[in-house]
Structure 1
Amino acid sequence: MNRRTLPALTALATATALLLTGCGGESSDPDDKIAGAGENSAEASASPGEKGAGDGIDRPEMEFPGDMEVVLDWGQPSEADQAAALHDAGEYMTAVNYGVEKQDPENAAYKFYVVPLSSAHTFAKDMIKKHVDAGLTGTGALRFSNGKVKLSESGNTASVTFCRDESKYFNKEVKSGKVHKTKVDEKSYYAFTLIMERAKVPKGLWRAKDIAGERGASECVGV
């Protein structure tokens, strides 16, 4: 299967659309994602990662209701910058879903993990707003796995790739509580690339700058 490299904003639109129509829904999306940057790479170990970063950064708290769980099913690379970039990529994706849960396109949690006015910022806001406009939130277990990191030569940006598993995650109507359960197939799995940027302050934080996603990614099925 051939994959094209897209400009960030085109990939952004694809990622936003595919996630809104995800959770088992039908959609036709191009096979697109942005390329990674840099030479140095690491793959997270198979053991689940720690819940907190332990870096002293005052991070936003995110608590989900009992019927919703975000699982970051990866370990941390041994190299400190790669570990930090992967951790904060996971926190960014968690924060986007937290904004959906809170039905708040201006939620402070995702803003903490984005470069202001970047495509990752736009993606988060648009995804939350589309769910709010549709009267939808999420329920079930949303799992992220197979995290890999590439640092740029400068060490100030990193490409983070990972899989998103929606086989146990579904849309739920906010007003009625009705759950839209659908069959699990290849379209329940996604491959994502995030470009993370080292923040000047606070020290140790990485923020999402660009994002792209591919729905029905065969490399993410069963991972």
Structure 2
Amino acid sequence: MTRSSLPVAAVTAAAAALLLAACGGGSTSSDKASSSDSPPGSASATATTASPTQAAGPTAPTFDLPSDIKVNFTGFTSSDPTNKAVLLDATYAATSVVETEALGKLAETPNLKRFFTGDHGAALADQMISYARTGKVATGTIRYYGPKVTVNKAAGSVNVFFCEDQSKAYDKDAKTGKVTVTEPSLRSYNSWTYVMSKASSGEWQVIDYSRVHGVKKCQAD
């Protein structure tokens, strides 16, 4: 894997145990690490997808992403108006996590607070702060793809499953700028499931979530 893991907390919601983790992956003993001043290929990265803010209206969030980190989304659209709105807000939520890790803030960012709510959102913010206290920030490219939307009418919520590719994402020392580069492994490929609910503002917020490391389906895709 290419990123260092944060502590994983087990949370129970609706009789299901959900793993809470920040965007960082986890190194394994088989990963080979080295240090450099910048991630390989960062200067010539061309696979950057347009920011989600470019596809929405004036109330869309803006993100303060450093120039050395890229967030790509593939397939996060739908002909169904509701699903389209859910998927767009899911991209905002995912980007808010990357933004928080890339900035190394010791406080919850406005975008993270906006798209992750409740106790689960607070737990995620705490983990983001714990990551920042290690002196590391995220760099490189993170890709999200293969989204699937499932409506839970009884609960009034929507589940959004998608894959995450961190094979080109790395930890960087916030002070020195040194990047720890590791070789990709199965743990570079993860899956997320967001449980999203529509807020009074009309936005879809993440009220619960789970993350699974080392997903072969995501690696194959």
What TM-score do the two structures reach when normalised by structure 2? 0.77
Match of 1:164 in 2: 164
Give, as a single letter, the amino acid of the residue that structure 2 aligns with 1:197: S
Match of 1:33 in 2: none
SS at match of 2:19: helix
Q: Percent identity?
A: 25
Match of 1:196 in 2: 196
Instruction: Tell me how far 1:7 sits from its aligned partner.
Output: 2.6
CA contact (8 A) 1:49 1:74 kept: no
Tell me whether 158-167 or 102-111 shows the greater mean CA deviation.
102-111
User: How do 1:14-25 and structure 2 match up within 5 A?
Assistant: 15-16=21-22, 19-20=23-24, 22=25, 25=27
Cα distance 1:11–1:178, how it changes in 2: closer, same or farther (>3 A)?
Answer: same
Match of 1:12 in 2: 19
Match of 2:77 in 1: 76
Whose strand fraction is larger, Structure 1's or Structure 2's? 2
For residues 27-86 of structure 1, give each alpha carbon's deviation from its aligned partner in whole angstroms, at most 9, with x where no partner exists.
8xxxxxxxxxxxxxxxxxxxx788347553513310322211011122411111111111
Tell me whether 160-169 or 97-106 shows the greater mean CA deviation.
97-106
User: How do 1:62-211 and structure 2 match up within 5 A?
Assistant: 62-104=63-105, 105-115=107-117, 117-119=118-120, 121-153=121-153, 156-201=156-201, 203=202, 205-211=203-209
For residues 142-172 of structure 1, give each alpha carbon's deviation from its aligned partner in whole angstroms, at most 9, with x where no partner exists.
0000011011225831000000000110111
Match of 1:215 in 2: 213
* Runs of 4 or more consecutive aligned structure 1 residues displaced over 6 Å after TM superposition: none
Match of 1:38 in 2: none
Cα distance 1:132–1:142, how it changes in 2: closer, same or farther (>3 A)?
Answer: same
2:123 & 2:166 partners in 1: Cα distance?
Answer: 19
CA contact (8 A) 1:82 1:151 kept: no
Cα distance 1:171–1:90, how it changes in 2: closer, same or farther (>3 A)?
Answer: same
1:49 & 1:82 partners in 2: Cα distance?
Answer: 20
Give, as a single letter, the amino acid of the residue that structure 1 aligns with 2:110: A
> Aligned-pair RMSD on alpha carbons?
2.4
Match of 2:39 in 1: none
Where structure 2 has 5 or more consecutive residues not aligned to the other structure, the ranges are 1-10, 30-48
Where structure 1 has 5 or more consecutive residues not aligned to the other structure, the ranges are 1-5, 28-47
CA contact (8 A) 2:147 2:160 kept: yes
For residues 145-201 of structure 1, give each alpha carbon's deviation from its aligned partner in whole angstroms, at most 9, with x where no partner exists.
001101122583100000000011011110111111111111100011110001111
Match of 2:6 in 1: none
SS at match of 2:176: coil
Give, as a single letter, the amino acid of the residue that structure 1 aligns with 2:195: I
CA contact (8 A) 1:171 1:181 kept: yes
CA contact (8 A) 1:113 1:208 kept: yes
1:130 & 1:53 partners in 2: Cα distance?
Answer: 31
User: How do 1:55-66 and structure 2 match up within 5 A?
Assistant: 56=57, 58-66=59-67
What TM-score do the two structures reach when normalised by structure 1? 0.76
